[in-house]
Amino acid sequence: MYVAVKGGEAAIANAERLLAETRRGDPAVPEISTAQIEQQLGLAVDRVMTEGSLYDRELAALALKQACGDQLEAVFLLRAFRTTLPRFGASQPIDTGRMQVARRISATFKDLPGGQILGPSFDYTHRLLDFSLLAAGETPGGPRGESDPEPMPHVLAMLDREGLIESEIEDSPDAPVPDITREPTTYPADRAARLQTLARGDEGFLLALGYSVQRGYGRNHPFAGEIRFGTVEVEFVPEELGFPVSIGDVAVTECEMINQFKGSATEPPQFTRGYGLAFGHCERKTMAMALVDRALRARELGEEIDSPAQDEEFVLAHSDNVEASGFVQHLKLPHYVDFQSELVLVRELRRRAAAAPGRRETALAGDE
């Protein structure tokens, strides 16, 4: 028999207070400020903004502080906050070609207009723990070079001019842009809906899928055509003004993959594209996103779909870590009733099986 129970309020309230105490840690150690998180744990902030789908460095830092550094919990907090804000509209599309570049590399062309700019990167570090960081102290200022106003066009535009890669042509400014936060995704999904899903998708999940593509599960021969990181201007057209207003700058990372395509009956062989774009400095994320974007284009490119990364519904439905974490973690909630019914069922099956040993399998199958 099931009896409805209430209770646990005091335990819940205390659990929350205990969490606050645990979050603060040893009071002898100075409290961390959101400004410190924003400045000194910037890449954690970037990931929370990207997957939380809200560009606001201070809020992302606050979420990280509140979540004791748990990134997925911080993403959840930011997502919850964004639902409390009205939306004024959508920006003009950002122009990554006019980015104020802090880093820009290409793995396909050595010499390119604007050059290879390494920027602040882990890539060439030895991954040895730096014990000097254990001691407090200021790092000396970084290096400066001769300011160089040379423009940095997209690398893939050079291939495009020769017709060697598929073109990316603007859509009509009046065409609707799907928004997965307003309308549920329907399958097959538009590439725009896929890119939005991937942009806010979990980095770990996309990284694993991207890796699987490289290891042969839906191989598409990727080259990192260009990766750039920097700030871009955001323009918005208020309905009451009717002209674009520049409202600020956001930092973004962009990755353009170049992939092979053997051609079809109607199209000559040419390279194809995979695209990644994310808030802040999220290089690994945008590379994984570009690999998965390309894998998900299998259908439109007439490729065989036989790998997880090419399975649109599988990828898109499982990439969101707030949804995934919610559903996995809900298993912690009381399932007393569900479990009681299972318990009764298993006891009954065992009783029947014991009564008629020869029909054991049938009984189990029949009641399933």
Residues 204-223 that bind other proteins (CB under 8 A): none
Distance of CA 320 to the CA centre of its chain: 8
- What type of residue is 198? L
Give the residues across from 104 on adjacent strands.
117, 228
How far is the C-alpha of 15 from the C-alpha of 322, rounded, in Å?
22
107 touches other proteins (CB under 8 A): no
Candidates 12-20, 101-109, 211-219, 327-335: pick the segment binding other proteins (CB under 8 A): 101-109
Check binding of 174 to other proteins (CB under 8 A): no
CB of 233 to other proteins, least distance (A): 6
Instruction: Return the half-sphere exposure (C-beta side, CA atoms, 13 A cut-off) of residue 262.
Output: 6
Q: In angstroms, give the least distance from the CB of 265 to other proteins.
A: 24
- Beta carbon of residue 148, minimum distance to other proteins (angstroms, whole number): 5
Q: Which of 285, 311, 93 is nearest to 201 (CA)?
A: 285
Among 109, 217, 223, 236, binds other proteins (CB under 8 A): 236
Q: Which of 16, 130, 162, 170 binds other proteins (CB under 8 A)?
A: 170
Residue 90 binding other proteins, by CB under 8 A: yes
The verdict on 353 binding other proteins (CB under 8 A) reads no
| 366 counts as binding other proteins under rule CB under 8 A | no
Using rule CB under 8 A, residue 158 touches other proteins: no
- Indicate whether 43 belongs to the interface with other proteins (CB under 8 A): no
Q: Which of 45, 47, 50, 316 binds other proteins (CB under 8 A)?
A: 50
**Nearer of residues 96 and 353 to other proteins, judged by Cβ:** 96
Query: Which of 217/236 has CB closer to other proteins?
Result: 236
190 vs 217, beta carbon nearer other proteins: 190
State in angstroms the smallest separation of the CB of 230 from other proteins. 8
Under 8 Å between Cβ of 50 and 282: yes
- Quick one: which of 23, 42, 70, 91 contacts other proteins (CB under 8 A)? 91
Candidates 89, 137, 151, 216; binder of other proteins (CB under 8 A) is 89
3-state secondary structure of 255: strand
User: Comparing C-alpha atoms, which of 180, 177, 176, 159 is closest to residue 168?
Assistant: 159
Q: Tell the burial category of 283 from Cβ atoms under 10 Å away from its Cβ (0-12, 13-18, 19+).
A: buried
- Region of 20-28, 240-248, 314-322, 350-358 interacting with other proteins (CB under 8 A): 240-248
Question: Least distance in Å: CB of 125 to other proteins?
Answer: 13
The contacts found for 41-48 with CB under 8 angstroms, 24 or more apart, are: 42/280, 42/281, 43/280, 43/281, 43/282, 44/69, 44/71, 45/280, 46/251, 46/278, 46/279, 46/280, 46/281, 46/282, 47/71, 47/75, 47/203, 47/280, 47/282, 47/285, 48/74, 48/75, 48/78
**How far is Cα 365 from Cα 350, in angstroms, rounded to an integer?**
13
Residues 112-151: x where in contact with other proteins by CB under 8 A, - otherwise, as a string: ---xxxxxxx--------------------xxxxxxxx--
User: 143: number of CA atoms within 13 Å, CB side?
Assistant: 5
Judged by CB under 8 A, the stretch of 27-35, 95-103, 311-319, 343-351 that binds other proteins is 95-103
Contact flag: residue 343 with other proteins (CB under 8 A)? no
> 57 vs 284, which CB is nearer to other proteins?
57
Task: Pick between residue 200 and residue 284 the one whose CB is nearest to other proteins.
Answer: 200
Strand-pair partners of 277: 254
